[in-house]
Chain A
């Protein structure tokens, strides 16, 4: 499973690293789909004994393998929305020293980072590793609606229907990239959609 190398971009664009086990009393892993593979790379019996894994399957088939790591606590759910209550409750009850490890798609890592930041963890202290799909979570700057898993540029807003250009301008507060109307000056002149990074 190779990792995708994102091209260099503007400062606003998040940069992801490689998970590494850090000192701490407890360890929270939040991953989706192929993000599971990043957990396999750092998992040791010792670390798993103090770990809570929240896994969003997104149709992936890693649930069994993650369960086999024997973490102290394990949850698998179909989507971020389904897991959201659990994630917020976990942060609410957590003590200082908790280490947060996020892996998988940008949308998952962004939303989990947003929840961690709201709980008081500085974003720089949260580890991330990108795995799997390069699709993005986009906010339409016009209607403010969020469209998940955007894989093409331009794309059509799932809320207001405008044709939107995918920008690298990212908001940690919203956990989304910004998308701007592509045919505002010449309505109807919409370029053919291409896959991101193509």
Chain B
């Protein structure tokens, strides 16, 4: 079976944080302890939505050392494919769900002298766990958190109450913006910057830090890409000897799984590289959306990341 090992859990809390964000708390159904994790880790939550099995990654926001329960926060995305809507409307206290062991693709670099966190909106969640981790050994950190408004600023109150010196919040509706160049220029040598938020913010922070001469090793980012809907297409699988139709709002990976093919995966968000698949033949255009393949691989027509990328055209034959 592909993906990280699974854990069966019970939903013990469903709390509306604000109009868009709901927090869920999970405990093991067998009463045992959950594994510890490291700040920045995510879990893949399985959702049984009618005939469709959805597997969405969510950052763990609870204390990494708390083995009693995990918490995640889910932002409702009305334009998305329905995973977050399912979590918001269908999941109730007492429900049994399956989640994966924690996987961390956004861990702290503990060699850093200082950790500079830049969050946008729901991108705050991995930092909540990282802050708890750093507080345990008196780590040096600072958070710059941009959100739409006070009403939609998830966990702003909690952060300001407990970490008023380290937390800097910027509200869009008050026209407050992060003065990024100034912020980056003032950081002591050995600082690492971490960014999690919308695509535009990640690109802005990465590009600005590089232009300011920050080493690539000191720039960390995480963006889970939800697979985007697109035109339906057909894929031939050379090893499994199957022909699979990928529908409009399912990902290529989901279509493979529906056809009973045990395709590898881990993050399901275009970041980890686990699902990298060789293309044997194609006639058409790839719609690459991942963060994994490099420029040469993207244009080679020899690789695809089925978790987020799609295809438009006549033939696609995969080595799977």
A25-B213 in contact given A96-B184, A120-B112 (Cβ < 8 Å) = yes
Most chain B Cβ neighbours within 10 Å, of A97, A119, A124: A97
The proximity string for B residues 10-42 relative to A, scoring 1 for CB distances below 8 Å and 0 otherwise, is 000000000000000000000000000000000
Please determine whether B217 and A124 come into contact, CB atoms closer than 8 angstroms.
Answer: yes
- Minimum CB–CB distance from B208 to chain A (whole Å) comes to 11
A133 within 8 A of B: no
Complex CA distance for A96 and B113, rounded to whole angstroms: 11
A94: nearest chain-B partner, CB-CB: B189
Complex CA distance for A189 and B112, rounded to whole angstroms: 49
A122 within 8 A of B: yes
Please determine whether B113 and A97 come into contact, CB atoms closer than 8 angstroms.
Answer: no
Among B112, B184, B213, point to the contact of A23 (Cβ < 8 A). Answer: B213
- Minimum CB–CB distance from B42 to chain A (whole Å) comes to 25
Q: How many residues of A contact B (CB 8 A)?
A: 18
Please determine whether A125 and B217 come into contact, CB atoms closer than 8 angstroms.
Answer: yes
B190 within 8 A of A: yes
The proximity string for B residues 216-228 relative to A, scoring 1 for CB distances below 8 Å and 0 otherwise, is 1110000000000
Most chain B Cβ neighbours within 10 Å, of A24, A92, A119, A120: A120
B319 within 8 A of A: no
Among B111, B112, B213, point to the contact of A98 (Cβ < 8 A). Answer: B213
Q: How many residues of B contact A (CB 8 A)?
A: 20
Please determine whether B213 and A121 come into contact, CB atoms closer than 8 angstroms.
Answer: no
B49 within 8 A of A: no
A24-B215 in contact given A97-B185, A119-B189, A120-B189 (Cβ < 8 Å) = no
Interface residues in B250-306 (C-beta closer than 8 Å to A): none
The proximity string for A residues 8-39 relative to B, scoring 1 for CB distances below 8 Å and 0 otherwise, is 00000000000000111100000000000000
B70 within 8 A of A: no
- Minimum CB–CB distance from A93 to chain B (whole Å) comes to 8
A23: nearest chain-B partner, CB-CB: B213
A96-B217 in contact given A119-B189, A120-B191 (Cβ < 8 Å) = no
Please determine whether B190 and A24 come into contact, CB atoms closer than 8 angstroms.
Answer: no
Please determine whether A96 and B189 come into contact, CB atoms closer than 8 angstroms.
Answer: yes
Residues of A contacting B: mostly: loop
Complex CA distance for A25 and B218, rounded to whole angstroms: 16
B-chain residues with CB within 8 Å of residue A122 when the two chains form the complex: 215, 217-218
Complex CA distance for A31 and B184, rounded to whole angstroms: 28
Please determine whether A95 and B185 come into contact, CB atoms closer than 8 angstroms.
Answer: yes
Complex CA distance for A22 and B213, rounded to whole angstroms: 7
Complex CA distance for A23 and B212, rounded to whole angstroms: 6
Complex CA distance for A122 and B185, rounded to whole angstroms: 18
Complex CA distance for A84 and B43, rounded to whole angstroms: 48
- Minimum CB–CB distance from B1 to chain A (whole Å) comes to 36
A147 within 8 A of B: no
A95-B186 in contact given A23-B211, A120-B113, A122-B215 (Cβ < 8 Å) = yes
A114 within 8 A of B: no
Complex CA distance for A22 and B191, rounded to whole angstroms: 19
- Minimum CB–CB distance from B47 to chain A (whole Å) comes to 40
A95-B188 in contact given A120-B111, A120-B112, A120-B113 (Cβ < 8 Å) = yes
B-chain residues with CB within 8 Å of residue A125 when the two chains form the complex: 215-218
A152 within 8 A of B: no
Among A22, A25, A120, point to the contact of B190 (Cβ < 8 A). Answer: A120
A-chain residues with CB within 8 Å of residue B212 when the two chains form the complex: 23-25, 96-97
A75 within 8 A of B: no
Please determine whether A97 and B191 come into contact, CB atoms closer than 8 angstroms.
Answer: no
Please determine whether B215 and A124 come into contact, CB atoms closer than 8 angstroms.
Answer: yes
A62 within 8 A of B: no
Complex CA distance for A91 and B188, rounded to whole angstroms: 9
B210: nearest chain-A partner, CB-CB: A23
Please determine whether A24 and B111 come into contact, CB atoms closer than 8 angstroms.
Answer: no
A-chain residues with CB within 8 Å of residue B210 when the two chains form the complex: 23
A123: nearest chain-B partner, CB-CB: B217
A-chain residues with CB within 8 Å of residue B311 when the two chains form the complex: none
Among A22, A25, A119, point to the contact of B185 (Cβ < 8 A). Answer: A25
B160 within 8 A of A: no
Q: Could you tell me which B residues sit within 8 Å of A by CB distance?
A: 111-113, 184-191, 210-218
Question: What 20 new A-B contacts, CB under 8 Å, besides A96-B213, A120-B111, A125-B216?
Answer: A23-B210, A23-B213, A24-B213, A25-B213, A95-B187, A95-B189, A96-B187, A96-B189, A96-B212, A96-B218, A97-B185, A98-B189, A119-B189, A119-B190, A120-B112, A120-B189, A122-B218, A124-B215, A124-B217, A125-B215
The 6 closest A-B pairs by CB, nearest first: A120-B190, A24-B213, A125-B215, A122-B217, A97-B213, A96-B187
Q: List 5 A-B contacts (CB under 8 A).
A: A22-B213, A25-B212, A99-B213, A119-B190, A120-B111
Q: Could you tell me which A residues sit within 8 Å of B by CB distance?
A: 22-25, 91-92, 94-99, 119-122, 124-125
